Amino acid sequence: MLFDGKKQVTRTRNLSLGGLYVETPFPIPIGTTVQLRFQLPTQPEPVEVNGDVRWVVSKGSSDEIGMGIRFQGLRARDVWALNRFFQTIV
């Protein structure tokens, strides 16, 4: 994830066609736009998409701190790759 020109490595806990939830000890304010880049096993190229922070969890255990990010327009190939990835999850 890229925010304010700085790269931040995060762990994705939840993923959908609409967005994702990432664990991070440094949540970003709601409404902030970020650049996301992540790899799916169903696509050789990484998914690169902008997103905006929609909600933040800033209290709780360290694995609960994070933020929900809404995608701002996935490419058709990324939607296809995500749908194929979702089909592999049992």
Residues 4-24 pLDDT 10s: 677 877 889 899 999 999 998
Helix intervals (H) in 1-90: 76-88
Our measurement of the distance from residue 3's CA atom to the centroid of its chain's CA atoms, rounded to an integer in Å, reads 13
pLDDT of 62: 59
Domains of the chain and any CATH numbers: 2-88 (2.40.10.220)
pLDDT of 6: 74
Tokens of 71: 């995608």
Q: Who contacts 81 (Cβ-Cβ below 8 Å, separation ≥6)?
A: 40, 42, 43, 47
Find the farthest-apart pair of alpha carbons in the chain and give their distance in angstroms, rounded.
37
Least confident of 50-54, 55-59, 65-69: 55-59
Give the whole-number percent of the chain exceeding pLDDT 70. Answer: 91
Name the DSSP letter for residue 18: S
pLDDT (average), residues 34-46? 90
Grade residue 34 by pLDDT with cuts at 50, 70 and 90: very high
Whole-prediction pTM value? 0.84
